[in-house]
Amino acid sequence: MRFLHTSDWHLGRGLHRVSLLDAQAAFLDHLVTTAREERAEAVLVAGDIYDRAVPPLSAVELFDDALHRLAALGVPTVMISGNHDSPRRLGVGAGLIGRAGIHLRTDPAGCATPVVLADRHGDVAVYGLPYLEPALVRDEFAVPTAGHAAVLGAAMDRVRADLATRPAGTRSVVLAHAFVTGGTPSDSERDITVGGAAAVPAAVFAGVDYAALGHLHGCQSINDRVRYSGSPLAYSFSEAAHRKTMWLVDLGADGGVTAERIDCPVPRPLARVRGHLETLLSDPALAAHETAWVEATLTDPTRPEDPMARLAARFPHILSLAFEPDRPPTAPATYAQRLRGRADQEIAEDFVTHVRGGRTPDERERAALRAALDAARGQGA
């Protein structure tokens, strides 16, 4: 059986101040086209369909359109809710939608009830495990501790128990939304740590042929049978080096797995640049980033004047600016020791020198400090 594995669409999310709605629509076009051209027999979406529990109407319309197009193709689709989704809202009408071949799995109690698909080699049982928030599902799975490993392990025990009742040769796929040990996170995933432990071992998925994971935004393989598709778009600059893809997976008659990465459309590349402002403005090696969304980190010892506007003249799509000045080590004396015995004017000038990495105020700045101190004294009189 051939299927597409994707996840973490985060419909409705942007990148800093830029809307990604058009890019998300382009990805969904690409998904439907790929499913048709590659003759996918199923589409698996491993959670975080939306970016928040109550998504904007524009995101809901995108999702609705994608479902109609997949149903029209006749390609069965299995989706689970992720930690960003509202299971109740996403799962509304799941029974009716299922009749059109779109199977929404948002209820933890149904994790051992698979969608049974078939190809020329026989049945494939596809189990959808929605994101399992330990504190909320602990009673459902009767685990002694509310931890990710405990609840996911209990859910997988149910999956294996159901699989054991099915005809010999039945192949199996699990969709899950979790942080599996060995995965590499990025800055754009919401922390799911509970009790200091967020990760679960890959061994929890033992006994199934393929685990289609969501949550981490970088495409990666934990092993040949346990993979993250990653998000189809970059949602933070920590993903600047990511290659955004889906997995095209072939599940053989004997349960063997082969997988190929299918590239997703890139609306605009991301770039991180770092250095002194004048270097960033003049370095010819940075010309390739002039059309990218840019995150700039300035290392000038003192903050330059109007840096964002000056950078935007070269990098018109700059979105983020940070300061991490390169400064020589400061004297070990405490600030209180440096103030002792100094006049107010000297203290103010010393403070300006201190925060600017050693550059003393010029005459104009000294005059401004003097006037401010005189005004403060006048108000206190």
**279 and 349: one domain?**
no
Q: Mean pLDDT of all residues in the chain?
A: 91
pLDDT of 268 over the 80 cut: yes
**250 and 372: one domain?**
no
**240 and 373: one domain?**
no
**Reported confidence tier of residue 194, pLDDT bands at 50, 70, 90:** very low
**Reported confidence tier of residue 380, pLDDT bands at 50, 70, 90:** low
Domain assignment present for residue 151? The answer is: yes
Among 224-233, 287-296, 352-361, 364-373, whose mean pLDDT is lowest? 352-361
| Average pLDDT of the residues in 60-85 | 95
**140 and 283: one domain?**
no
| Average pLDDT of the residues in 57-85 | 95
Domain assignment present for residue 214? The answer is: yes
Residue ranges making up the domain that contains 364:
335-380
pTM attached to this predicted model: 0.83
| Average pLDDT of the residues in 111-121 | 95
Domain assignment present for residue 62? The answer is: yes
| Average pLDDT of the residues in 284-298 | 97
**Reported confidence tier of residue 353, pLDDT bands at 50, 70, 90:** confident
Domain assignment present for residue 328? The answer is: no
**243 and 275: one domain?**
no
**212 and 233: one domain?**
yes
- The pLDDT tens digits of the residues spanning 175-184 come to 999 999 888 8
Tell which of 323, 348, 367 closes a domain.
323
**245 and 300: one domain?**
no
**301 and 254: one domain?**
no
Tell which of 237, 263, 289 closes a domain.
263
Cα 260 from Cα 202, distance rounded (Å): 21
Count of domains in the chain? Answer: 3
**314 and 356: one domain?**
no
Domain assignment present for residue 257? The answer is: yes
pLDDT above 70 coverage of the chain, percent: 93
* Residue 361 or residue 262, greater confidence: 262
- The pLDDT tens digits of the residues spanning 294-350 come to 999 999 998 899 999 999 999 999 999 999 998 765 555 565 666 666 788 888 887
Q: What is the pLDDT at residue 87? A: 92
| Average pLDDT of the residues in 227-253 | 96
**55 and 87: one domain?**
yes
